[in-house]
Each structure stands twice: as structure tokens, then as C-alpha cells.
Amino acid sequence: MQDHRRLGRELGLFDTDPLIGAGLPYWLPDGAAVRHTLEEYIRTAERRAGYQHVYSPVLGKRELYEISGHWAHYCDDMFPPMDLGGEQVVLRPSLCPHHAVIYRSRSHSYRELPLRMAELGGMYRSELSGVLGGLTRVRSIQLNDAHIFCTLDQVAEEAHAALEMIRRAYEALGITPTRYRLSQPGPGGKYVAAPEKWQRSTALLIHVLESSGLPYEAAEGEAAFYGPKIDVQVTDGAGRESTLSTVQVDFHQPEQFDLHYIGADGAKHRPIMVHRSIIGSVERAVAHLIEQHQGAFPAWLAPTQLVILPISDAEIPNAASLARRCAGLGLRARIEGPDRGSLGARIRDALLVPYQAVIGAREAADGRVALRLRDGRRLDPLPVDDVLGRIGALVGAHSTELWGDDA
């Protein structure tokens, strides 16, 4: 099994340059196609689940993080502040403080809860250069994040729903979680001191895990500084385990930011924040997907979904017409013409592409293509409409199957 750094470079997905800096990878067109598709999947799933998307800046005043507690408990992982006209601003180490402020900017009734606020946003971590590498340890992170502002009674249902979104996403992505971890505080001053809140949050998460029937292990010293969390762990090719997805219960930041909603009784009440991430950081998720699939992504995620192979120059117009139809349907197709070598060589070069559509004189005359699937299957020539209909349906359903009847 090859690691994602080597594959990422070989497949032209991402790279780094010393002039940009360590831990600051850039995404090449094929990697950007995978990332964009993944981000769209997440946004769509969130919209369907009742989330509202926001945008917030990647910088904030130092004060913002003093209030949230990041400055006191998390500053080792933050970039040093920048002086700006007598103020200090910092690259944000998380999205929560911005979302808490956005929540606070409007008054909210209990009828609006649970209020689910989502953003795929940038954040920064001042990792030491010695530990940087590929997409797993980076200084610039795109986080799939959301905060659910809700009442105590609503926490369990929201956490359940988040775990279900994670389950569905893993199914579509072909990822198997290694284990679920209940991450609790450990010794040391990293954590906010509020024993009663820690107990309540932990009890809620245990309830969620147990009523979901998910086996889990408790781990000390892995909690966020403001509260315990459920971590969904995955393992890479070298056997290293890391956290991809999380669900957290937070009593701390709502209090720090003095958040409230107006209850049915007309009085102010404090909401709880549930932090949740379906795929964690986009960088780490793509790194894991590259290794898991060794570059052979599920068809809906593949940078090129269909490679079109005209046998001779005579079929190039048919190939171009098929490529235009694919583009119109939102499918990512490319033509590899006879100038790129023999048919056999072109097929070998496209081994990671889910679908290879060969067009010879007979297929061109009949409006058909001879389809080869990445798993080695060769189908009899099929009408172009049938092929595009079937591939479009599988891609639209985020299926991990190539032809819908995979064993």
C-alpha cells in the first residue's frame, strides 16, 4: 500500500513548494476536482439535514479567542498574533468563536432551535515544521464544521443525527471507521475547570453512544479544552490512527459568549453548542481517501469519471460529441486520442478511471460505446444514452458500485 504523499504527487492531486512553505500544500486540478466534489457532497447533505451555511473570516481579534478560551488553553497551536493599528489579530485556530458571535448577532426564540450553523472554512495550526507532511499535518486547514445551538433536551437527538450523517458519508466514501472513542480530559491545565459541566456533557455523550448501539472506548487526554467529544477514528496504511469526525457537547462557549434564546416563558435561557464535523478537515479526509482507495476513488468522486478512447482519428468527432454530453450532465470526462499511443497503452494509462468508453467504427456507426469498467469487466457495446443514464444515476446516488450490480 502506498502512502498518500507519494500517490498524491504521482496522480497529480496536490503538491508543495518550499517557496510557499512547509505544511501549505496546493491542490492541482485533479485534486481540486476531488475536493470540490467532496465539499459539494457535504454541503448538500447539510442542507438536506436542515443546516444553514455561513461564511466567516479566517482572522479575528485576539480578544475573541481570549473570550472563547482558546488563548488560555490552546495558544501553543496558534500562530503568533499580528499587530495591526494598535490591535492584535490572529489566524483562527477554530471556527466556533465566529459562529458563537454570529449566533449572538440576532435574537433567537426557542422556536428556532435547534439552530444548525455550518461552514466549510479555513483555520490555521502552527504545527512545527518537523512533523509536517502531505495532507495529514498541515498549517492551513479547511474544516468541515458545524455548530448546533439547542436546548439540553435536544442534544441527544442532534448528536444521533450527526452520527447518522457520518455513517452515510463513510458509506458513500467507502471508509470504514476503526473505532469510536469517547475523548475525555486528562491531567494538566489544558482543560477549562468546570467539573459539573464536564460530567453532564460526558453523560450525554455516553447516552448517545449507548443508545446508538455503537461500541466505544474511553480515552483520557483527548477531549477538547472546552468539553468531551465522540471521535470517529480511522487507520491509515501504516497503521496510524487518527480522528476524522467528531461530535462534541459544549456548555463552556455559550456561557463565555453569553449566548441565549427566549424561551416559551419569555425569559432568557442559555443554549448548548453541539460541535460536529462529518469528515473533519478536507485535507485529512482526502489523504485518507487517497490511501484507502489507492487512487481508485468511487466513481462520483473520481477526478476523471469517464475516459473516452476513439480507436482511430475517424471516431474523434463521436468522442468529442460524447465528451460534450458528459460535460452537460456534470460528468468529468476526457478524451485520450490515438495520438496518445495504442489502445492497449491508453487503457493501461487510465486504469484508475472508473469507466473507459472505447469507440471504434462499428460503435460510431451505431451510436454505441464499448464500455470497460475499472474492475476489469468488459461490457457489450451499449447505446450512449444507456451508458450515460446508468453512470449518471450511480454518480448522483454517490454509490460505491461501478455498475449497480457489483458483487
- Which spans of this chain sit near Zn ion (rule: CB under 5 A)? 96, 275
Q: Which is nearer to Zn ion, 279 or 364 (CB)?
A: 279
CB of 253 to Zn ion, least distance (A): 8
Q: Which is nearer to Zn ion, 96 or 120 (CB)?
A: 96
Q: Which is nearer to Zn ion, 43 or 325 (CB)?
A: 43
Q: What amino acid is encoded at 92 in this protein? A: R
Parallel, antiparallel, or unpaired for β 82-84 and 115-124? unpaired
Q: Which is nearer to Zn ion, 70 or 275 (CB)?
A: 275
Q: Report the distance separating Cα 241 and Cα 154, nearest Å.
A: 31
CB of 135 to Zn ion, least distance (A): 21
CB of 275 to Zn ion, least distance (A): 4
Q: Which is nearer to Zn ion, 96 or 223 (CB)?
A: 96
CB of 252 to Zn ion, least distance (A): 11
Q: Which is nearer to Zn ion, 250 or 291 (CB)?
A: 250
> Is residue 134 within 8 Å of residue 25, measured between CB atoms?
yes
Closest residue to bound Zn ion by CB? 96
CB of 382 to Zn ion, least distance (A): 48
Q: Which is nearer to Zn ion, 252 or 346 (CB)?
A: 252
* The 3-state secondary structure of the chain, one letter per residue: CCCHHHHHHHCCCEECCCCCCCCCCEECHHHHHHHHHHHHHHHHHHHHCCCEECCCCCEEEHHHHHHHCHHHHHHHHCCCCEEECCEEEEECCCCHHHHHHHHHCCCCEHHHCCEEEEEEEEEECCCCHHHCECCCECCEEEEEEEEEEECHHHHHHHHHHHHHHHHHHHHHHCCCCCEEEEEECCCCCCCCCCHHHHHHHHHHHHHHHHHCCCCEEEEECCCECCECEEEEEEECCCCCEEEEEEEEEECHHHHHCCCCEECCCCCEECCEEEEEECCCEHHHHHHHHHHHHCCCCCCCCCCCCEEEEECCHHHHHHHHHHHHHHHHHCCCEEECCHHHCCHHHHHHHCCCCCEEEEECHHHHHHCEEEEEECCCCECCCEEHHHHHHHHHHHHHCCCCCCCCCCC
CB of 399 to Zn ion, least distance (A): 31
**Angle, helices 282-293/29-48, rounded to nearest 10 degrees:** 110
Q: Which is nearer to Zn ion, 120 or 322 (CB)?
A: 120
CB of 69 to Zn ion, least distance (A): 12
CB of 309 to Zn ion, least distance (A): 47
CB of 105 to Zn ion, least distance (A): 17
Q: Which is nearer to Zn ion, 96 or 286 (CB)?
A: 96
C-alpha cell at 245: 469526525
